[in-house]
Structure formats: C-alpha cells, structure tokens
C-alpha cells in the first residue's frame, strides 16, 4: 500500500490530500509538505483523508509536528477520516487536538 | 556515550549499554515482528569505554526497529556470572518493549527474542501541562488497577481495560471527588508469567496485578487500546494530561525490589545476561537473595543500579509528568548488597534529594518479604511518606469492636504522632484496604479468606485480616446483617476521611466491591478483579456517603493539618486545637473495655492555625448497643449540626452543606451501635 500526498494553499488555508498508508516510510513525505505550507503561515490546516487507509505512530507524529510547526492558533481539520483513523486518534487522545469534520468549511 | 539506552540522533540511533564483566557485546537488530534479525553488529573493542558499549548506527527505521544485545562472558553461577551468548537481551533502558502488545494475546513461545526493545518518540504535545503539586495533606488517593477499572462489561467504556478506558471515566472520578489516582504497576510486565490452569476448575490464572517488572522505563503495552499499534506511550501521556486537566494527580506504584527474571531457575530476559552480579543481590554461593518473595532481589544500592533507578524515576517525572511514586516493598531499597539493612541507604537518600524529583511525592511500602518492617522508622530524609500499616491494623480491630483500641485509635486519627513524632501528619498514608487483602465490603462479610480460586490450596494471602463477617460468612439475605455491613463500610470511610494524614481508598470500596472473600486476587483476569459498575446502583447510598465524606474533607481544612496537634490554645479560644471525649465531654475512656471515642477539632487551628474552619466533632461507637452522648458546649453563637450519622438505619444519613439538621439537645445525643457521627459547629 503506497502513500500519496498533495498540497495547496487557498485563501490562506493549507489543504493536504492524503491517500494510502501513512507510516514510517511515508511520514517524511508528509513532513516535507507541512514544512512547505508552513512557510506561508496558513490560518488553518485541512487534511483530506477519506482515501487514507492506515495511520501508524509515525502518522500521529506528523499531526503533532504540524501542530508544533504551525502554532497552537492554527486549527487542524481532518476531513472524512475512515473508522480506523478515528479509532487511532481516539485511543491516543490526539483527537482532542484536531477537529474531525465531514466537510471544510463545515 | 550517554545516555544509556537507544537515543535518536540525526539520521541514526545511539546505542549505549553497561556491562562490567562481559567479554564482548553485539547489537542485534530486528524488523518489527520478524522472527530473525536483519543485522547483528558486534561492538568494536574501541567502542567500549570503561564498562560501557556504545555506538551510533545510521539509516534505521525508528518506528519499525526492534533491538537487543547479545553478551558474551563467563557462565560461572557460583561466582555470580550468567552470561549466555545464545540469548538476546532486552535493553534495561528501553523506552518501550514489544512482545506483549495486546493483553493475553497468545505469544509465540519459540520466539528467539520475546521481549524486544523499541524506540519511542518524545514529541508528545503536553501543551501547558505540568505536575499539579497539590499539597500532600490535601490529597485523597484512589488506588486502582488499570485493567480492572473498566474491563467489566458494565463499565460502558469503549476501550475497556485500558488507559483510554480510564480517560473515559474521568467524569466518574470527578464526581467521586478524589484528586489523585495511584496506578498499580504499569511498567511492562508479562501477564503470562507463571500462568497456569487452576487444577480443579481449569480456569486460566495469570500474572494479573503485574508486580513483576520486565522493564522499568516502558509502559505496559497491553494496557493501551493502541498498544497493538505501538502507541502506548501516547495513550498513557494523554491520560495523564487529561487527569491533570481535571486536577487529578497521577501516582505510579513502582516495583524496584525485584524483576521478572526470578531465581536461578527463571528466564534470562535482560539483567541476568547483561550483568548479573551488578543487578541482583547474590548469596556467597551465587544464588539469589529473595527478600521480595518472588525469587530475586534487585541490588538497588549498587551505584550502577541506583543510577538506573534514579534515571528511571526522573524519566517518568520529566517525560510522563508523574506526580508521585509509591514504592512496592520499599524496605528492600534500604538493604546493602549482602542483604543487611543500611543505616543511611544511598538510594533512598538520593531519591529524597534528587533535583528532578523535588516536587514528586515519594511513598514507601515500608516493609519487605524478608521480615524488615520499618513503619514509623523508614529512612525518610524529610521527604518520604509511608503506607501506614499500623493505622490499617488498629482501625480494623477497633471497627470490629475489639477491646483496648481507643488509645490506638486516638493516635491514628491524629496522624499517628507517636509513630511520626518529628515528621508530621503527612508521613503516613492512611488506609484500611488496598489491593493486598480484603476489599472494604469483604472486610465486613468474611472472617476468613476464601482463596480457593487461586489454586494454591489456601496457602496464599494473609491470615491476619482483622475482619469480621457481622454474623454470617459471605452473602446473606439477613437484612440486619447487611445493614450492619453497610454501616461498617461507612464507619471506615468516615474514619479514613476525617483522620489527619493522607487518605487512600481502594478502587470500588466506595460502591461495595467484593472479591467474595478472596484476599489475594493477583492472578484473576475476571470479575473477581473487574469493577462491577452495577454496584453504583445497588449500593447507591454507600456511594453517596463516600462522595459526601470526600467533599467534607475537601471543604474542611481542619482535617488537613501538616503538623501534629499541640494540645494547646494559644489564641485563647477556650479550647485546644484537639480535645478528646467519651460519652461525657472531655472524659475520654481509654480503658480496655471502652469502645466509644470522640474528638473535637477547633476550627481556629485549621491547617495548624493558618486558616479558620468550623468546629468539627466526630464520635464513634463500636459497642453492639447504642450510647447516649453529651456533646461539648460550643462557644457562644455556635450550634452543632449533623453532617453525617451512619447510625441512621435507612434513608439519608449524610447532609449536604446548608441542609445539616440542627442538634437540639446536646445533653442527650443518641449514637447507634457500630456507628459514627460527624458534627459541624458553626
């Protein structure tokens, strides 16, 4: 299972679209994209993850990295995550640091 | 070279391990879950500095890596050497251990390296969190087992039996009112250790409580819903962060007295193969001293081991924001390598004065299985508190109506000044029940232990329970007996929560949890240990009473002095800070036949006179008949009000602030048999 990520910034909102499996072998790709959008000081980070099938610990690390890199004022939205992803976020409590939404903007 | 363990460095990992007597060492690397290693790298001789092997390996997958060590050296057990290069050894400083990722998942018994060292990321987002630093005299400790708390189907938790499950139950802890949870061991252990089938029932018995450490730095993966994904560190840290957000401190019950490697017949997992003579206390013949009762004894006052313990506790304090530690069988930590008790134990002193641990509470279980009993004289260095075992014993005896206990009770409720004359009230953690022994319900439902389910022919568990079944052994339909049991539980909760010192309640006692007379449920992954939340409804009155008394303690600083009473009245209020009473005011009966004891706290001396409070009068009657009390006369303008009266047969026996009934006749206050009252003078 591979991993793909694309990013864009629209009206100050950083939008990343992820698919496949986010694990230790692919986390660096996401880190690169976060670093890239961070240079433009986005007002929010939106992760479109409906096609993301698996997130390992390294994926969680990227959420933490994003929060620390962008600052606590920048809200992180996770759009349409699959059940396994939500479960992982719930178990580890990271869910309290992000917003799970069906659409962005809601 | 330092720190010990595996440390991430740019593009690589620094591996560092101590061994004084090995002749060589190799680093063994596995892809996570694979049977065979993908690399084995001998430490070049020039990479050994002193007794430390150290090297950096680049281009490793931090998340997928599992590592261990292979040590070569003499196998000469008579002289304490047990090197075995056929074994792959866990790193004593590993921050996570793989192999028991899911609770009770059947292991691969042929695994050449069953307990695998792993790396963890230290990037958790703590936000503004820090240890709460609640003054110890203000704590109300709730001892709990991670799995037992939410594993029962009635818990309603989504993530049963896990750290995440506890997080779901934080609203309950808030409702109860406790402000500290003490987690029974959460260091990685093997639930399969000494597992067996019950010889009669065939039931699977396991190492359930976990007082047998595999690794001191690693949280138990099987306690994490996310353990199977290797995210137990995040899950535990999130739990601690959320408990802190709700003003609840987190203590860990830590087991440094022994390890899971057992005696000479036990497995070689880590310490035995890395440096047996350093890590364990050995007899002159090379066998293991067994002051822990479990096969071996960690050599805590060896400087290397001492530093490991210090490093470990600093790690938990710094990286997990732990607020305090309770040390299992802590008397062992004061023994010399030859087993003799030390006058000035270096480890205990180091812990007391360690700068990183300066704000952590340190609590000793001040005895061990080798007969060293130090309650009252544990080397405290002005820092250590103790589980007050004498408080437990005296209160149990008093509550069941034994004669000659009034003097001991008077000491206990004051914070045991004879036991801790210079250490103040907070030297003692007051408890009547804990994980060892009967639950509070069983204390008043069983005269003898009933440990058949443990499969040890009744040879396990203590016989000195000081319990009383109230007239019938075990469950009964007799309403009078059941009412007496409920009353006795309330009496016990009352005494714990109005005593000076640090109160501790065992999980479920607030709702009448039973272990059906089993006083040693260490091996049961079933309803003997799991908290049945349906009891909240069945024993709603009991739960309401526990909440009331906890709230009462928190509302009244007069119950939370740090220093002992002076028995004087420097403010000339008319009464000393504490006065003692019997059926008549100021006439306490300390004779051997007495079973009535009352005391009054002068609110002008609350918190040793640093704040003010109401007057508080508590009376207890452990006669089988009621007594008529004459209450002390309060200063002008004050009257007595009933906050709690366990002797009220049915209905409400405790009253919220502002609703307390006025005592209309202080000359004749009827106190029922086996009852306690708490009055407020305002």
Provide, as residue numbers in chain B, all residues whose Cβ is less than 8 Å from the Cβ of A90: 158-159, 164
Sheet of strand B65-72, all strands in order from the earlier edge strand to the far edge? B39-42, B24-31, B65-72, B116-118, B96-98
Q: How many cross-chain Cβ pairs, A to B, lie less than 8 Å apart?
A: 62
Tell me the CATH number at A72. Answer: 3.30.750.24
pLDDT of residue B651: 65
Query: Per the CB < 8 Å rule, is B125 touching A57?
Result: no
Q: Is residue A50 part of a domain?
A: yes
Gap between the Cα atoms of B613 and B642, Å rounded: 16
Candidate from B62, B127, B235 with C-beta closest to A91: B235
Gap between the Cα atoms of B363 and B347, Å rounded: 14
Strands B141-144 and B180-183, by their bridges, are: parallel
CATH superfamily label, B143-557: Glycosidases (3.20.20.80)
Q: Is residue A48 part of a domain?
A: yes
Q: Is residue A91 part of a domain?
A: yes
Instruction: Residue B324: name the closest of B337, B338, B340, B313 by CA.
Output: B313
CA of B40 vs chain A CAs: smallest distance (Å): 22
The backbone region for B467, taken as left when phi is positive above 0, alpha when psi lies in -120 to 50, beta otherwise, is beta
Instruction: Residue B597: name the closest of B567, B622, B577 by CA.
Output: B622
Instruction: State how far Cα A88 lies from the chain centre.
Output: 13
pLDDT of residue A57: 87
Secondary structure (H, E, C), B306-318? HHHHHHHHHHHHH
Q: Do domains B5-118 and B566-681 have the same CATH topology?
A: yes
Gap between the Cα atoms of B568 and B571, Å rounded: 9
Gap between the Cα atoms of B235 and B320, Å rounded: 11
Span B225-245, pLDDT tens digits: 999 999 999 999 999 999 999
| Cβ atoms of A55 and A22 closer than 8 Å | yes
Residue in A with minimal Cα distance to B124: A64
pLDDT of residue B62: 87
Q: Is residue A40 part of a domain?
A: yes
Candidate from B63, B127, B167 with C-beta closest to A56: B63
**CATH 3.90.1150.10 is right for the domain spanning B5-118:** no
Residue in A with minimal Cα distance to B223: A91
Q: Could you say which residues of chain B have pLDDT below 50?
A: none
Strands B39-42 and B428-430, by their bridges, are: unpaired
Query: Per the CB < 8 Å rule, is A93 touching B125?
Result: no
Reading the block at residue B649, the tokens are 């047969």
pTM of structure: 0.96
pLDDT of residue B650: 64
Which residue is listed with tokens 């009412």?
B483
For an interface test with A, give the residue of B66, B119, B125, B320 to mutate (most A CBs within 10 A): B125
Catalytic residue check, B613: no
Gap between the Cα atoms of B541 and B652, Å rounded: 8
pLDDT of residue B614: 97
3-state class (DSSP) for residue B337: coil
Query: Per the CB < 8 Å rule, is B226 touching A24?
Result: no
Query: Per the CB < 8 Å rule, is B238 touching A92?
Result: yes
Provide, as residue numbers in chain A, all residues whose Cβ is less than 8 Å from the Cβ of B168: none
Q: How many domains would you assign to chain A? A: 1
Domain with residues B566-681, CATH architecture: Sandwich (2.60)
The backbone region for B230, taken as left when phi is positive above 0, alpha when psi lies in -120 to 50, beta otherwise, is left
Query: Per the CB < 8 Å rule, is A64 touching B123?
Result: yes
Q: Is residue A106 part of a domain?
A: no
Task: Tell me which residue range forms the domain holding A71.
Answer: 3-101
Gap between the Cα atoms of B443 and B513, Å rounded: 11
Residue in B with minimal Cα distance to A65: B123
Domain ranges of chain B: 5-118, 143-557, 566-681
Residue in A with minimal Cα distance to B160: A91
Beta-sheet strands, E only, within B526-629: 578-581, 596-601, 615-621, 627-629
CA of A12 vs chain B CAs: smallest distance (Å): 25
Provide, as residue numbers in chain B, all residues whose Cβ is less than 8 Å from the Cβ of A60: 231, 234
pLDDT of residue B225: 96
Query: Per the CB < 8 Å rule, is A93 touching B242?
Result: yes
Sheet of strand B615-621, all strands in order from the earlier edge strand to the far edge? B578-581, B596-601, B615-621, B675-681, B640-645
Q: Which of B328, B386, B408, B510 is catalytic?
A: B328
Q: Is residue A27 part of a domain?
A: yes
Gap between the Cα atoms of B559 and B40, Å rounded: 61
Please give the DSSP secondary-structure letter assigned to residue B186: -
pLDDT of residue B338: 87
For an interface test with B, give the residue of A60, A65, A93 to mutate (most B CBs within 10 A): A93
Q: Is 70 exceeded by the pLDDT of residue A9?
A: yes
Mean pLDDT over A23-31 rounds to 90
Mean pLDDT over A21-46 rounds to 93
H or E, element range at B250: strand B249-254
DSSP string for chain A: --EEEEEEEETTEEEEEEEEEESTTTHHHHHHHHHHHHTT--SEEEEEEEEEEEE-HHHHHHHHHHHHHH-TTSEEEEES--HHHHHHHHHHSGGGGSEEESSS--
Q: Which of B253, B275, B365, B408 is catalytic?
A: B365
Catalytic residue check, B328: yes
Candidate from A61, A93, A97 with C-beta closest to B123: A61
| Residue ranges of A 60-79 with Cβ closer than 8 A to chain B | 60-61, 64-65, 67-68, 72
Q: Is residue A84 part of a domain?
A: yes
Strands B196-197 and B180-183, by their bridges, are: unpaired
Residue B61 near chain A (CB below 8 Å): yes
Residue B641, preceding peptide bond in cis (omega within 30° of 0): no
Sign of CA dihedral A64, A68, A71, A72: positive
């Amino acid at each position: 299972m591979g991993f793909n990520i694309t990013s864009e910034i629209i009206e100050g909102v950083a939008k990343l679209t992820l698919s496949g499996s986010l694990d230790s072998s692919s986390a660096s790709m996401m880190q690169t994209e976060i670093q890239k959008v961070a240079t433009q000081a986005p007002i929010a980070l939106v992760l479109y993850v409906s096609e993301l099938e698996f997130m390992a610990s390294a994926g969680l690390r990227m959420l933490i990295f994003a929060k620390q890199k962008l600052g606590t004022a920048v809200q992180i939205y996770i759009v349409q995550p699959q059940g396994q992803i939500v479960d992982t976020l719930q178990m580890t409590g990271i869910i309290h640091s992000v917003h799970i939404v069906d659409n962005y903007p809601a | 070279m330092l720190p010990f363990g595996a440390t991430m460095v740019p593009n690589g990992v620094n591996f560092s391990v101590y061994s004084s007597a090995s002749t060589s060492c190799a680093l063994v690397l596995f892809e996570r879950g694979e049977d065979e290693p993908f690399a084995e790298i001998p430490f070049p001789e020039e990479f050994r500095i002193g007794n430390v092997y150290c090297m950096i390996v680049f281009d490793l997958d931090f998340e997928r890596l599992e590592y261990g060590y292979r040590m070569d050296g003499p196998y000469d057990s008579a002289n304490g050497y047990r090197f075995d290069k056929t074994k792959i050894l866990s790193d004593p400083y590993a921050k996570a251990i793989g192999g028991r990722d899911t609770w009770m998942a059947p292991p691969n018994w042929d695994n050449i390296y069953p307990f695998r060292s792993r790396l963890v990321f230290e990037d958790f987002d703590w936000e503004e969190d820090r240890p709460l630093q609640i003054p110890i005299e203000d704590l109300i400790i709730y001892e709990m087992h991670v799995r037992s708390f939410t594993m029962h189907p009635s818990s309603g938790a989504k993530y049963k039996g896990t750290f995440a499950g506890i997080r779901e139950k934080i609203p309950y802890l808030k409702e109860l009112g406790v402000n500290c949870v003490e987690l029974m061991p959460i260091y990685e252990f093997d639930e399969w250790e000494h597992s067996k089938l019950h010889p009669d029932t065939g039931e699977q018995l396991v190492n359930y409580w976990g007082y047998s450490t595999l690794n001191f730095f690693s949280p138990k993966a099987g306690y994490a819903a996310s353990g199977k994904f290797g995210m137990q560190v995040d899950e535990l840290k999130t739990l601690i962060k959320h408990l802190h957000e709700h003003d609840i401190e987190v203590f860990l019950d830590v087991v440094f007295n022994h390890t899971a490697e057992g005696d000479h017949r036990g497995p070689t997992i880590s310490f035995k193969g890395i440096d047996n003579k350093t890590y364990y206390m050995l007899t002159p013949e090379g066998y293991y001293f067994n002051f822990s009762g479990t096969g071996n004894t960690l050599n805590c006052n060896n400087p290397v081991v001492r530093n490991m313990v210090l490093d470990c506790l600093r790690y938990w304090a710094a990286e997990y924001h732990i607020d305090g530690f309770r040390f299992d069988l802590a008397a062992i930590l004061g023994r010399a390598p030859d087993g003799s008790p030390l006058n000035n134990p270096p480890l205990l002193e180091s812990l007391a004065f360690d700068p990183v641990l300066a704000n952590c509470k340190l609590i000793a279980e001040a005895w061990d299985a080798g007969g060293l009993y130090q309650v009252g004289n544990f080397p405290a260095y002005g820092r250590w508190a103790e589980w007050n075992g004498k408080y437990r014993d005296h209160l149990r005896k008093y509550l069941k109506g034994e004669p000659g206990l009034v003097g001991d009770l008077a000491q206990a409720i004051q914070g045991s000044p004879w036991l801790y004359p210079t250490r103040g009230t907070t030297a003692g953690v007051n408890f009547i029940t804990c994980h060892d022994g009967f639950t509070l319900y069983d204390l008043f439902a069983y005269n003898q232990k009933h440990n058949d389910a443990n499969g040890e022919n009744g040879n396990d568990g203590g016989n000195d329970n000081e319990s009383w079944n109230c007239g019938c052994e075990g469950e009964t339909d007799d309403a009078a007996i059941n009412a007496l049991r409920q009353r006795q539980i309330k009496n016990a909760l009352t005494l714990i929560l109005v005593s000076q010192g640090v109160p501790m309640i065992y999980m479920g006692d607030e709702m009448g949890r039973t272990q059906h007379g089993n006083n040693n449920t260490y091996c049961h992954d079933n309803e003997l240990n799991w908290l049945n939340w349906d009891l909240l409804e069945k024993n709603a009155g009991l739960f309401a009473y526990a909440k009331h008394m906890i709230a009462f303690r928190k509302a009244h600083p007069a119950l939370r002095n740090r220093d002992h009473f002076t028995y004087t009245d420097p403010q000339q209020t008319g009464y000393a800070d504490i006065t003692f009473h019997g059926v008549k005011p100021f006439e306490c009966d300390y004779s051997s036949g007495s079973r009535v004891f009352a005391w009054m706290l002068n609110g002008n001396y609350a918190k040793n006179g640093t704040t003010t409070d109401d007057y508080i009068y508590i009376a207890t009657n452990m006669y089988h008949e009621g007594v008529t009390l004459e209450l002390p006369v309060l200063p002008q303008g004050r009257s007595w009000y009933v906050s709690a009266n366990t002797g009220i047969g049915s209905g409400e026996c405790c009253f919220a602030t502002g609703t307390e009934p006025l005592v209309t006749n202080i000359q004749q206050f009827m106190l029922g048999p086996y009852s306690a009252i708490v009055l407020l003078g305002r």
